[in-house]
A and B are shown apart, each in its own frame.
Chain A
Amino acid sequence: MPGKNNHTTHIIRSLALATIIITTMFANVATSTISAVSQPSAAGGTQRTTRPITTGTSVLGIKYKDGVMLAADTLCSYGSMAKYKDARRLVSVNPSTLIGGGGEFSDFQSITDTLRQNALEDRCTADSLYDEESAQASAKETWSYLRAIMYNRRNKMNPLWNDLVIAGFHESSGTKVPFLGMVDKIGTAFEDDMIATGFGSYLALPILREKWRADLEEGEARALLEDCLRVLFYRDCRALNRVQIAKATVDGVLVSEPYEIDSSWDSKSMVGAKGGLEGDGGW
């Protein structure tokens, strides 16, 4: 009879539902511990970063007449897919420091979060709330701090998979001196007048070395960086023509809004398919 069948199926369905709920409850208990670094997985053994997933490409930096300038595109690639075309890879951490990051974007976000929290704590625990500079970490101190972090993570075999560029000012014998340095995922740290990470170290650095002068005006510095970004857009498969520029001067830091740079694909070598791909494959 129909009524009786309904009753039985109802019991079976509710039993099945109960079992599902109970198993999910147990599963949650097993995975509910939160830890920052490596944790035992359900499959057994600890976990650590082995490959980057969502990545940013090159970051460029140069010292110029008034200070330091950084440049980067606004792409975060998901493997070969151009997934996030408005990712902000140049970040200001305090009024005297800029950070640019390539590599795993989530690690970069974690790093900038930490740096921002440190800057807030410095501001709030300074001797005077009105003297903003007294407790501010300089760019060089931030660079040294990041070196300590990256090297430590590398030694634990669980790196933050980034190439970081640090730009800004630090105080030396009473005067503000521009600073530009980089830290990579294994904790290598150095400072220089020109920095380029990722593909930029192969394609952009030779251009920068050729064209750079210590007394570049702001417009010239920007044009030089845009030239390099254009070359990277032509030749780096994970680059984009939408870019950001950031500058640090004695008066403070500024990160521009993203804008597009033009490029020309008319040259003969670019026009026409290669590798016999044209046509229908016939002789």
Chain B
Amino acid sequence: MESVKQGSACVGLRSKTHCVIGALKRSVSELSSHQKKILEIDDHIGIGIAGLTADARTLAKWMRNECLNHKYVYGSPMPPGRLANSLADRHQRTTQTYVRRPYGVGLLLATHDEKSGPHLYQTCPSGNVYEYYATAIGARSQSGKTYLEKHYESLGDATREEMILHALRALAGCVSGDDELTKANGSVGILGKDESYTLIEDDELQYFLDKLEVEGTLGGGDDDNDDEGGDAAEPAAEESKEDSGDAEAMET
């Protein structure tokens, strides 16, 4: 739980047709690259991570394997709800086995099910899995949550472009102090009905950032008083009030 809060911010939101993840990529120093935060699991499932990256990659490898096996045996894409439940069971096992430690990462699963549409799930090291309309995890994610709480009711009918802009606005509130959201440190993953997982980064992302610039909503963290922020859209997240982030080199 603590390592999730130390990781940099990740936001997720869903409409009636699409599911979007936005992530703030952290880099260790000016010389290094920005750590990848959004991973593809299958055409219809993508994840955003916050916490120990290595643990996240292990989980991603397992999830990809499960999806492939399901497709081979049953000839159809893995139902996301089933994967989320198996993932939760996997997390829980580590909390009750003497020799193991919990996975130090929180995941946001953006999924689309042919039968029931898009779904957004959040997992945490304890093994709880919640479904959300919109949520944010990681350092300074409270301002992202506040933004999403204000806007989640209008997400249902939002277009693809509006969804991406919402994600970026929510993310813009999560940058620290003097930094701002740029094409180097921002990243967006989107999937939905008739659209397989697509990653938007670098120059492609600039198009959306330009739109935000016109609005004037890029830039550093909001000064909103987030004490009353409380719950996100769906059942109460178990995260308590977060610490001001001291970035750990291994966590993103």
Report the nearest A residue to B86, measured CB to CB: A125
A52 to B27, CA, bound (A): 65
Task: Check B76–A140 contact: CB distance below 8 A.
Answer: yes
Task: Check A134–B116 contact: CB distance below 8 A.
Answer: yes
Contact partner of B82 (CB less than 8 A), chosen from A133, A135, A148, is: A135
Query: Counting CB contacts under 8 A, is A141 at the interface?
Result: yes
Task: Check B74–A134 contact: CB distance below 8 A.
Answer: no
Instruction: Using known A-B contacts A127-B81, A135-B82, determine if residue A171 contacts B115 with beta carbons closer than 8 Å.
Output: yes
Task: Check B116–A145 contact: CB distance below 8 A.
Answer: no
Query: Counting CB contacts under 8 A, is B214 at the interface?
Result: no
A175 to chain B, nearest CB (A): 11
Task: Check B74–A144 contact: CB distance below 8 A.
Answer: yes
Query: Counting CB contacts under 8 A, is B207 at the interface?
Result: no
Task: Check B81–A141 contact: CB distance below 8 A.
Answer: no
* Interface membership of chain A positions 107-125, coded 1 if the CB is closer than 8 angstroms to chain B and 0 otherwise: 0000000000000000001
* Interface membership of chain B positions 66-88, coded 1 if the CB is closer than 8 angstroms to chain A and 0 otherwise: 00000011111001011001000
Interface residues on chain A, number (Cβ under 8 Å) = 15
A143 to B76, CA, bound (A): 11
Instruction: Using known A-B contacts A134-B116, A171-B114, A171-B115, determine if residue A141 contacts B76 with beta carbons closer than 8 Å.
Output: yes
Contacts of B72 in A (CB 8 A): 148
Task: Check B74–A145 contact: CB distance below 8 A.
Answer: yes
Contacts of B75 in A (CB 8 A): 140-141, 143-144
Contacts of A229 in B (CB 8 A): none
Task: Check B73–A148 contact: CB distance below 8 A.
Answer: yes
Contacts of B74 in A (CB 8 A): 137, 141, 144-145
For chain A residues 141-183, which have a beta carbon within 8 Å of chain B?
141, 143-145, 148, 171, 173
A134 to B115, CA, bound (A): 8
Contact partner of B85 (CB less than 8 A), chosen from A125, A133, A141, A171, is: A125
Contacts of A145 in B (CB 8 A): 73-74
A206 to B159, CA, bound (A): 53
Chain B interface residue number, banded:
10 to 19
Report the nearest A residue to B75, measured CB to CB: A144
Contacts of B82 in A (CB 8 A): 125, 135
* Interface membership of chain B positions 22-34, coded 1 if the CB is closer than 8 angstroms to chain A and 0 otherwise: 0000000000000
Task: Check B114–A135 contact: CB distance below 8 A.
Answer: no
A127 to B75, CA, bound (A): 22
Report the nearest B residue to A122, measured CB to CB: B82
Instruction: Using known A-B contacts A134-B115, A134-B116, A171-B115, determine if residue A144 contacts B81 with beta carbons closer than 8 Å.
Output: no
For chain A residues 171-206, which have a beta carbon within 8 Å of chain B?
171, 173
For chain B residues 112-135, which have a beta carbon within 8 Å of chain A?
114-116
Report the nearest A residue to B113, measured CB to CB: A134
For chain B residues 20-49, which have a beta carbon within 8 Å of chain A?
none
A134 to B81, CA, bound (A): 10
Contacts of A143 in B (CB 8 A): 75
A171 to B113, CA, bound (A): 12
Task: Check B73–A144 contact: CB distance below 8 A.
Answer: yes
Contacts of B114 in A (CB 8 A): 171, 173
Report the nearest B residue to A173, measured CB to CB: B114
Q: Which residues of A contact B (CB under 8 A)?
A: 125, 127, 133-135, 137-138, 140-141, 143-145, 148, 171, 173
A133-B115, A141-B74, A144-B75 given; 18 more Cβ-contact pairs under 8 Å: A125-B82, A125-B85, A127-B81, A134-B115, A134-B116, A135-B81, A135-B82, A137-B74, A138-B76, A140-B76, A141-B76, A143-B75, A144-B73, A144-B76, A145-B73, A145-B74, A148-B72, A171-B114
For the complex of A and B, the 7 pairs showing the least CB-CB separation, nearest first, are A144-B75, A141-B74, A148-B73, A127-B81, A144-B74, A141-B76, A145-B73
Return 13 A-B CB contacts under 8 Å, by A number.
A125-B85, A133-B115, A134-B81, A134-B115, A138-B76, A140-B76, A144-B74, A144-B75, A144-B76, A145-B73, A145-B74, A148-B72, A171-B115
